[in-house]
Amino acid sequence: MALLIKNGTVVTADETFAADVLIEGSTIREVRAGIPANGHTVVDASGLLVLPGGVDAHTHLDMPFGGTTSADDFETGTRAAAIGGTTTIVDFAIQARGTKMRNALDTWWKKAEGKACIDYGLHMIVTDLGTSGLEDMDDMVREGVASFKLFMAYPNVLMVDDATIFKALKQTAKNGALVCMHAENGSVIDVIVQQTLAEGKTAPVYHALTRPTTAEAEAVHRAIALAEIAGAPVYIVHLSSEDALNQVREARDRGLPAFAETCPQYLLLSIEDQMPGKSFDEAKYVFTPPLRKKKNQAKLWDGLKQDHLQVVSTDHCPFCFADQKALGKDDFTKIPNGGPGIENRMQLIHHHGVNAGRLSLNRFVEITSTAPARIFGMYPRKGTIAAGSDADIVLWGPKEKHTISAATHNMRVDYSMFEGFEVVGNARQVYSRGELIVENGKYIGKAGRGTYLRRDARGGAWC
Ligand code: URP
Ligand code: ZN
Ligand code: ZN
């Protein structure tokens, strides 16, 4: 028996139209007005928007980092994602220095096994190309790992030099994968950090004050320049500032295949509001790149509208305040970097983007679902509502009110970065490959039902 979603308003990146959606098994079969009921199970979507499930291309579940491990595992993190209307994530496996990427892939598959509630892909964080790293990259592409993250920050931990970045970019020019760049000048930041600590400045706000926007812009510029020389596309992750955005815009204006994402925290939070430098509570907002001055927010929203930025992802990397952020009580460099957000991305961008008149509904769908699916090689299986696509569908109540709070959220972390934020618009029902997995804020699917996505290495072909 098929499932028929009737009377809803379908929203894709291109169109908004009244239509019914017929689902057979895990796949969308037909999208048009007036599909007859014909004994199908009918779901009445009157008054609801029928959206493609959200795609969050940047999450860190069960990730060892900063002397601890991110608080959400693949079960709690993907469950929270689903409740918020996200049906696909792309997480990061980390190559340990001196080891094969395949070991990391196996480790991350095991982390997800029996736990993932929604479908997931994996990027590979490259820490070392060694002697066989380039072949390793090709090996990963064959396994559906169609993107690699490299770090220009975190010296002695994850940072790689320009030669490594350039070699990786050249390899992706051949194998079609996409390099994702953490773009901050880590060496310069390290000098500023050491000077600041030597002056006795140890509070959380100094994490932000030691990472100037120019250090981000310089690295974005360098990443794009290296990609241009290599003849490869590049994707800048978690872009946080106007200075950095200007570099991406300039490159795109020249026709280069440079892409970038930002995150809700950079669009909605600021140094002025969240980090006045008064208490250790501000450790809740220690992530990298850091929060910026408020004046950057309007520029980032405008960048999303104008397609200088293509994607909003979360960089979900939760650490509990009580026992994890507290590691840095006397030294901001010991605060684990990262913040939670996987559950709230769709609500926040719908409310502050669409309701606030900054984005059309179609652009909302594009930046939260369609564009990440395309860029990361999952389109049209994910990221749209069309015959043949996976039936990953969110029935969205555009008028539903919700107050974000750690007291009620589903992420396994003891605070919310958006505590008390009131949003209008929320997921009423969520389907993943045709299965109803969320109903009125409750996850009703099984853990482990999510499957690994083998992604196509063709992100760079899309611009
Ligand atoms: O602070 C952050 N962003 N933590 C996660 C790791 C990263 O750089 O994305
Ligand atoms: Zn990063
Ligand atoms: Zn990240």
Tokens of 16: 């908004």
Atom of ligand 1 nearest to the CA of 153: 8
Identify which ligand lies nearest to the alpha carbon of 181: 2
- Within 10 angstroms of residue 161's Cβ, the number of other Cβ atoms is 10
Predicted confidence at residue 131, as pLDDT, reads 87
Decide: 315 in ligand 1 pocket, CB within 6 A.
Answer: yes
Predicted confidence at residue 231, as pLDDT, reads 97
Cα of 288 vs centre of ligand 1, distance in Å, is: 5
The protein residue whose alpha carbon is closest to atom 4 in ligand 1 is 338
Task: Tell me the per-residue pLDDT of 403-449, one tens digit each, with 9 for 90 and over.
Answer: 999 999 999 999 999 999 999 999 999 999 999 999 999 999 999 99
Report the DSSP beta bridge partners of residue 17.
Answer: 10
**Cα distance between residue 142 and residue 456, in whole Å:** 9
Decide: 433 in ligand 1 pocket, CB within 6 A.
Answer: no
Predicted confidence at residue 460, as pLDDT, reads 55
Tokens of 340: 């939670």
Is residue 401 within 8 Å of 39, Cβ to Cβ?
A: no
User: Structural domains in the chain?
Assistant: 3-51+382-398+424-442 (2.30.40.10), 53-375 (3.20.20.140)
**Cα distance between residue 140 and residue 126, in whole Å:** 11
Cα of 43 vs centre of ligand 3, distance in Å, is: 37
Is residue 379 within 8 Å of 351, Cβ to Cβ?
A: no
Cα of 31 vs centre of ligand 1, distance in Å, is: 39
Q: SS3 letters for the chain? A: CCEEEEEEEEECCCCEEEEEEEEECCEEEEEECCCCCCCCEEEECCCCEEEECEEEEEECCCCEECCEECCCCHHHHHHHHHHCCEEEEEEEEECCCCCCHHHHHHHHHHHHCCCCCCEEEEEEECCCCCCCHHHHHHHHHHCCCCEEEEECCCCCCCECCHHHHHHHHHHHHHHCCEEEEECCCHHHHHHHHHHHHHCCCCCCHHHHHCCCHHHHHHHHHHHHHHHHHHCCCEEECCCCCHHHHHHHHHHHHCCCCEEEEECHHHHHCCHHHHCCCCCHHHHHHCCCCCCCCCHHHHHHHHHHHCCCCCEECCCECCCCCCCCHHHHCCCHHHCCCCECCCCCHHHHHHHHHHHCCCCCHHHHHHHHHHHHHHHCCCCCCCCCCCCCCECCEEEEEEEEEEECCCCCCCCCCCCCCCCCCEEEEEEEEEEECCEEEEECCEECCCCCCCCECCCCCCHHHCC
- Within 10 angstroms of residue 238's Cβ, the number of other Cβ atoms is 23
Predicted confidence at residue 1, as pLDDT, reads 82
Decide: 53 in ligand 1 pocket, CB within 6 A.
Answer: no
Predicted confidence at residue 458, as pLDDT, reads 78
pLDDT beneath 50: ranges in the chain: 463
**Cα distance between residue 177 and residue 175, in whole Å:** 6
Predicted confidence at residue 204, as pLDDT, reads 98
Neighbours of ion ligand 3 (CB under 5 A): 315
- Within 10 angstroms of residue 407's Cβ, the number of other Cβ atoms is 8
The protein residue whose alpha carbon is closest to atom 6 in ligand 1 is 338
**Cα distance between residue 263 and residue 311, in whole Å:** 8
Predicted confidence at residue 129, as pLDDT, reads 97
Decide: 339 in ligand 1 pocket, CB within 6 A.
Answer: no
Predicted confidence at residue 462, as pLDDT, reads 58
Identify which ligand lies nearest to the alpha carbon of 180: 2
Q: Which residues contact 37 (CB under 8 A, 6 or more apart)?
A: 4, 6
**Cα distance between residue 158 and residue 156, in whole Å:** 6
pTM above 0.95, yes or no: yes
The protein residue whose alpha carbon is closest to atom 3 in ligand 1 is 288
Cα of 316 vs centre of ligand 1, distance in Å, is: 8
The protein residue whose alpha carbon is closest to atom 8 in ligand 1 is 288
The protein residue whose alpha carbon is closest to atom 5 in ligand 1 is 338
Tell me the pLDDT of the chain averaged across its residues: 97
**Cα distance between residue 194 and residue 69, in whole Å:** 25
Cα of 288 vs centre of ligand 2, distance in Å, is: 7
